[in-house]
Amino acid sequence: MKVVYVDNNATSRVAPEVLEAMLPYFKEYYGNPSSMHVFGGQVATKVNEAREKVADVLGADPSEIVFTSCGTESDNAAILGALDSYPEKRHLITTRVEHPAIGNLCAYLSRKGYRITELSVDREGRMDLDELRESITEETALVTIMYANNETGVVFPIEEIGEIVKEKGIPFHTDAVQVVGKIPIDLRKLKIDMLSLSGHKLHAPKGIGVLFIRKGTRFSPFIIGGHQEKGRRGGTENVPYIIGMGKAFELAKAHLEEENTRVKALRDYLEEKILEKIPNTLVNGDRVHRLPNTVSVSFEYVEGESILLLLSGLGICASSGSACTSGSLEPSHVLRAMGVPFTAAHGSIRFSLSIYNTKEEMDYIIQHLPAVIERLRDISPFWKDYLKAQGRA
């Protein structure tokens, strides 16, 4: 069966070069990097080379890179590490559109007595920087604001946010899980203290993440154990995956240009054709400050889940909101925060591309999607009511 995979913000294919780089570390080089003997030592050297590759892409120092098990762990480590470092401060600032790795942790912290400020977004998914300025208090332990949204691709003004937060002397963490390889990150220019990343969004395997911790940032480990990662994350390093992560970063750097030209052009083409061919369709989020691979579209008066099911039958793999919200009948919290009308929020689909997509695949989607939407609208009572109100039925 033909498969057109356009769900890369959920997870991405492991690059063949990444797999190739990892294999020797399952077979020949299985030493523990902490061992004193030569067999461990050579593995430790390779782990540090991978760390250097990650640091190089981010504009960081290798000593500021901590390998974790996933983006969620990095987010948890950053937030809980900051709260533990400033026990007297009980206030946290975040946004209403974060991934559940942040959102659900904040909800948990709220139940534990922390005060959480969730900043709002406008209809385009943009933040109000004055609202951020006004919410920072003496009590604030950390500001955590995502770099780019996983559902809409909207990119927040991280440079300005960093300036505002650091001016007040507050630690700043950003969840940049969707960003590496799509737009450049230069930590030399950004006032970010901690930044979370995940391998499986950039063609490394699932189960490897990174937490950047800027030198001088107060931090206490989330996973307490051995002295690995300079005491910032206990547990024997996942060597093959770390090697794969290093390779994936090297490839992300090499493919950045292609993401912003060819992949962006494919996304724009898909978006344009959808809007042209299907009536009552809208794009969610700021179309300028947006990741080059992502488009969130709402098809009014139909159910996102039904669209996904019919697309899936045609081999087209997309998503309705984030992977974690699909399966629930509630419209996505991101679209709700943006004030997308109920009739449109329910019928939202996210297409997220990668360098492995082709024009022919976009044409395949464009060829089939209009009929899918038409078929669902034909059986939608909301669509019938809409046509009646328009005097068209």
Question: Catalytic residues, which ones?
Answer: 324
Query: 3-class DSSP state for residue 170?
Result: coil
Of 171-179, 184-192, 239-247, 302-310, the window that binds ligand PLP (rule: CB under 6 A) is 171-179
Query: Scanning residues 77 to 106, which ones bind ligand PLP (CB under 6 A)?
Result: 99, 101
- Residue with Cβ nearer ligand PLP (50 or 179): 179
State the burial class of residue 134 (Cβ atoms within 10 Å of its Cβ: 0-12, 13-18, 19+).
exposed
Rule CB under 6 A: choose which of 31, 71, 162, 244 binds ligand PLP: 71
Q: What is the DSSP string of 313-372?
A: HTTEE-BSS-TTTTTSSSPPHHHHHTT--HHHHTTEEEEE--TT--HHHHHHHHHHHHHH
Tokens coding 93: 């600032």
Rule CB under 6 A: choose which of 177, 242, 314, 373 binds ligand PLP: 177
> Is 175 a binder of ligand PLP (CB under 6 A)?
yes
Least distance to ligand PLP, CB of residue 327, Å: 14
Residue nearest to ligand PLP (CB): 71
- Residue with Cβ nearer ligand PLP (147 or 219): 147
Of 69-77, 108-116, 245-253, 362-370, the window that binds ligand PLP (rule: CB under 6 A) is 69-77
Least distance to ligand PLP, CB of residue 147, Å: 8
Site string for ligand PLP, 184-223 (x = CB under 6 A): --------------x-x--------x--------------
Of 39-47, 157-165, 174-182, 381-389, the window that binds ligand PLP (rule: CB under 6 A) is 174-182
- Residue with Cβ nearer ligand PLP (75 or 361): 75
Nearest to 201 by CA among 257, 129, 153, 271: 153
Least distance to ligand PLP, CB of residue 75, Å: 6
Quickly count helices (H) and strands (E) in the chain: 13, 12
How far is CA 38 from each of CA 42, 47, 288, 289, rounded to the nearest angstrom?
6, 14, 52, 49
Could you give the CA distance from residue 318 to residue 204 in angstroms, rounded to a whole number?
20
How far is CA 34 from each of CA 44, 47, 61, 233, rounded to the nearest angstrom?
7, 11, 21, 14
Nearest to 352 by CA among 274, 292, 299: 292
Where along the sequence are the contacts to ligand PLP (CB under 6 A)? 70-72, 75, 99, 101, 146, 150, 175, 177-178, 198, 200, 209, 322
